[in-house]
Structure 1
């Protein structure tokens, strides 16, 4: 097994992205034959062990090791875990005045925008700003037909693995996937940039379509400021804690569900925090619809815990 894993390691180092774009995703990187889930997991663990050893020898640097680990995690990650949720997505109604639509798109500086008809759950296409500009150069803006220039939407289920999505987006030459839930409703979007960032980390862009702050920011040794939309599984993994994941997906949703309502931070006696064993969650910024930012406070480890 060592020779096969060593060969895989060399291939991954040559091109982590190439492993995915080769056509089969993670499940095809070890062998042309189908492997059981247990075998795949064992091979993955073996590869990670070799990576750690190679890093110790100086043959692999930390960036390369982390990038390869991210590639190995792709097949486990589902669309709903990395998507931009519908509440944060800018979309336009095909029935609105075309001049108003163009003004909004230019003002918000989005390059690709979902288009819906009557209801946002009914996405009918995606319009690219370059196609709008091409039509605008031809003359009368009022005559622009959005239906004629928008692209067909690429829909994916929220539980589809992101390595499969990456492959399909490459094959179809599309830059945006529309995520739908089990009822066919619109859940959010995934861009090709989101998928690449899952491998190489955050990509800074002065014209980033959906610019956000660092989702988990360390304030002190045991206190972190966390975006409410951050998944509980990500918080658990990064902070090495065990918050419950059986009911809620996001950290903000977990605190909201525990409190039973969105807290009024201006009320002196309002309950704004909740405890989960040795972890405290405290709301510090809210909107009418959700808990936007919260603090995660960890109990300091005693000498006996270490």
Structure 2
């Protein structure tokens, strides 16, 4: 190899550094890819699909990249040494000094052009590097598979001796980790969408007790009342669904959907028998049920309203699917369920608030942050 011109050696060395940069940047780019985004891109992009296949076998991928990179770096070191000796023969430098200079220069070249620069760029733009690189790494893995397989076999053997499992179960993101990702993800815009996702994640820690209409404020119809009074209630109600009970709210007979009696009510033909015939069986919700579970139950049972009961079966309040949805998207219902619990602005930073209002509703409307741990209503918090 001593007959090879110095210019050719330098050209080979430069080419090897480019190859080393390719392997270094490919490793960083592939490991930096967003797996969820990659899964979607793989449906339309062949490069993304190849990258996904490579990442499905990370031990083989890393083995291939490290084998390729180390082979190239060793080859570059050999070429640099030969070039150094060639320079020493043509100058007054001793072979030892030339080798030392060559080592320092090669180290700097590899560090700057084959490691730091390509890896930094790959970390900033992983898709630009990973997808094209996958076209090269995929066939290269097939060609070098025997070497990669042998290397991985020995590596896994050493890991077993050290007591390190080869396959580590994938850890799912916790709710708090997902919450942090949503907050820090600037691609979720506008802020209303971001808040909706955060509210959805928070449902697990909110119970029906936090959002229900308390027992004392549940609007229903007592069938033992005078029939004319019942008709007046039905005509004047602002609600679409009403619990029907006998003397006491604990003796619920059923749930009335106003829509089912409108024709007869408007014609003055509604009687008690007709009212009872359209009632739907009441649906009871155990107190303390979290909203994530409850919204699934509403969907499963095809219900929009539930009566919250304690362990003894006594009714504690009423919750609707609209109440849960408002925890996600904010106030939207046209039914004034908080009628009588108004918030009146009296001046700068001064409000007149009904004490029966739910703290969660107050926080949502005024963008406050009152504590939720010790009470569910404003009066309960004050007292």
| TM-score where L is the length of structure 1 | 0.60
Structure (1/2) with the larger helix percentage? 2
Alpha-carbon contact 1:153-1:177 (below 8 Å) kept: yes
1:250 to 2:381 alignment? no
Structure (1/2) with the larger strand percentage? 1
Rate the CA distance shift 1:254–1:130 in 2: closer, same or farther, 3 A: same
Provide the residue aligned with 1:194 in structure 2.
Answer: 323
Provide the residue aligned with 1:44 in structure 2.
Answer: 175
Matches within 5 A, 1:262-277: none
Alpha-carbon displacement from aligned partner over 1:105-132 (angstroms, at most 9, x marks no partner): 2112221111111211222211111112
Provide the residue aligned with 2:184 in structure 1.
Answer: 53
1:103 to 2:226 alignment? no
1:160 to 2:289 alignment? yes
| Structure-2 separation of matches of 1:230 and 1:5 | 41
CA deviation after TM superposition for structure 1 residue 146, in Å: 2.6
Alpha-carbon contact 2:341-2:353 (below 8 Å) kept: no
CA deviation after TM superposition for structure 1 residue 69, in Å: 0.5
Rate the CA distance shift 1:236–1:196 in 2: closer, same or farther, 3 A: closer
Pick from 74, 77, 80 the counterpart of residue 209 of structure 2: 80
| Structure-2 separation of matches of 1:139 and 1:115 | 20
Alpha-carbon displacement from aligned partner over 1:259-288 (angstroms, at most 9, x marks no partner): xxxxxxxxxxxxxxxxxxxxxxxxxxxxxx
Q: Larger deviation: 193-202 or 42-51?
A: 42-51
| Structure-2 separation of matches of 1:69 and 1:217 | 28
Aligned residues: 221
CA deviation after TM superposition for structure 1 residue 71, in Å: 0.5
Rate the CA distance shift 1:233–1:198 in 2: closer, same or farther, 3 A: closer
Alpha-carbon displacement from aligned partner over 1:2-22 (angstroms, at most 9, x marks no partner): 9577799xxxxxxxxxxxxxx
Provide the residue aligned with 1:208 in structure 2.
Answer: 336
| Structure-2 separation of matches of 1:227 and 1:5 | 47
- Larger gyration radius, structure 1 or structure 2: 2
Q: Report the RMSD for the aligned CA atoms in angstroms.
A: 3.7
Matches within 5 A, 1:112-123: 112-123=241-252
Gaps of 5+ in 2: 1-32, 40-170
CA deviation after TM superposition for structure 1 residue 212, in Å: 6.2
| Structure-2 separation of matches of 1:47 and 1:64 | 15
Pick from 286, 290, 306 the counterpart of residue 177 of structure 1: 306
CA deviation after TM superposition for structure 1 residue 251, in Å: 3.0
Q: Tell me the SS of whatever aligns to 1:190.
A: strand
Matches within 5 A, 1:199-238: 199-205=328-334, 207-211=335-339, 220=348, 226-230=353-357
CA deviation after TM superposition for structure 1 residue 166, in Å: 1.1
Rate the CA distance shift 1:233–1:171 in 2: closer, same or farther, 3 A: closer
